[in-house]
Homo-oligomer: A and B are copies of this chain.
Amino acid sequence: MTNVSRENAPLSYAIIGSGALGGLYGGMLANVGSDVHFLINSGIDQIRRDGWTVESVLGDFHISGDLLNLHTDASSIPPCDVTIVAIKTTQNHLLPQLLSGSTSKDGVVLCLQNGLHSELDSVAVVGPDRVLGGCCFLCSNKIGPGHIRHIDYGRIVMGEFTDASLPPAGITARLQRITDDLRAAGIDANATGDLWMARWRKLMWNIPFNGLSVALNASTKELIDNESSFAIAESIMREVYDVAAAVGRKLPADAIELTLDHTRHMVPYDSSMRLDFLAGREMELRAIFEAPLTAAKRAGVVMSRVEMLHRQLAFLQSRADH
């Protein structure tokens, strides 16, 4: 990779966004002794005092505060091999500042964000050749500063980010090396040669279940248990499936059924969008709804249900903003 390739030297990491996702994966890396720099938004004194606590279905662990590299200012983070972007996409306008330290020499960005085209905001800062992306299938919550509760799943499917019009990038050496390094920390990281395929597959879940959990004020369990909301979710998944196919990412024929099955067996969980909405935070509408709707429109496909759900969320967001 641009220089993650000091071959056998251990990889260093910056974690931009130490919440439910960055806090878990960054914690797991630090827990096996990796060189990890956390960007901390709030509660740094508490973390210095109490350390980093992860309650996880994979096993609990704790790292004492004096072993942590904590930063409140991104520009003070030294250059790292891998900068993991784990903030909400709604904060992406901050990326020029947030990436300033850790990517200042070279290294790559691994964008573990929701939605479609979310990597483009990182590309705008570090250029197209230094960005990878990953989809996380994870049920995790931040309980407090440096305190993460990981309750289910945890898989990352990650790949090189390339323009959707180009052929799939395949599995590059740097992608494989970072994947291996994450796996060595116990993270269920998986390399894919076609990141877009993974993105669309994730959207097939995010669009219905994030969206309906807010529009109907319901948990994923309620949505899957009720025949009416189940039917909406399924028909929305079909729309996303069809658009993915139209843009050249035909998912396996059983993708919808498998995703519904996974959701049926998921522990009761509030989607990230519902948590955002209930907490009065901006929802990730641009990444999860608007970018896919734009992609569909370019492909000449109408996603009428997705469009309507997006408009409902935009209404609710707009009312919450007033």
> Given contacts A305-B304, A305-B305, A316-B216, are A311 and B231 in contact (CB under 8 A)?
yes
Is A215 touching B312 in the complex (CB atoms < 8 A)?
A: yes
- Bound Cα distance from A228 to B226, whole angstroms: 27
Is A315 touching B235 in the complex (CB atoms < 8 A)?
A: no
Report the minimum CB–CB distance from A321 to chain B (whole Å). Answer: 11
The interface residues of chain B lying within 8 Å CB-to-CB of A316 are 216
Is B305 touching A228 in the complex (CB atoms < 8 A)?
A: no
> Given contacts A215-B215, A216-B316, are A308 and B226 in contact (CB under 8 A)?
no
Report the minimum CB–CB distance from A188 to chain B (whole Å). Answer: 33
Report the minimum CB–CB distance from A317 to chain B (whole Å). Answer: 9
The interface residues of chain B lying within 8 Å CB-to-CB of A67 are none
Which of B218, B222, B312 lies in contact with A216, CB distance below 8 A? Answer: B312
The contact string, 1 if C-beta is below 8 Å from chain B, for chain A 9-44, is: 000000000000000000000000000000000000
Report the minimum CB–CB distance from A236 to chain B (whole Å). Answer: 8
A314 within 8 A of B: yes
A232 within 8 A of B: yes
Is B232 touching A311 in the complex (CB atoms < 8 A)?
A: yes
The contact string, 1 if C-beta is below 8 Å from chain B, for chain A 213-227, is: 001101000100010
Is A226 touching B315 in the complex (CB atoms < 8 A)?
A: yes
Report the minimum CB–CB distance from A227 to chain B (whole Å). Answer: 8
**Interface residue count on the A side (C-beta < 8 Å):** 22
The interface residues of chain B lying within 8 Å CB-to-CB of A304 are 235, 304-305
A91 within 8 A of B: no
Which of B222, B235, B315, B318 lies in contact with A308, CB distance below 8 A? Answer: B235
A319 within 8 A of B: yes
A229 within 8 A of B: yes
The interface residues of chain B lying within 8 Å CB-to-CB of A218 are 315, 319
Question: Which residues of chain A (272-322) have a CB below 8 Å from chain B?
Answer: 304-305, 307-309, 311-312, 314-316, 318-319
Is B318 touching A232 in the complex (CB atoms < 8 A)?
A: no
Which of B228, B307, B315 lies in contact with A318, CB distance below 8 A? Answer: B228
The interface residues of chain B lying within 8 Å CB-to-CB of A309 are 308
The interface residues of chain B lying within 8 Å CB-to-CB of A319 are 218, 222, 226
The interface residues of chain B lying within 8 Å CB-to-CB of A314 are 228
- Bound Cα distance from A231 to B309, whole angstroms: 12
- Bound Cα distance from A316 to B304, whole angstroms: 21
A–B complex contacts, Cβ < 8 Å, 18 sampled: A215-B215, A216-B312, A216-B315, A218-B319, A226-B315, A228-B315, A229-B311, A229-B312, A229-B315, A231-B311, A232-B308, A232-B312, A232-B315, A235-B304, A304-B304, A304-B305, A305-B305, A308-B308
Other A-B contacts than A228-B311, A232-B308, A305-B305, 11 sampled, CB-CB below 8 A, are A218-B315, A226-B319, A228-B312, A228-B315, A228-B318, A229-B311, A229-B315, A235-B307, A235-B308, A304-B304, A305-B308
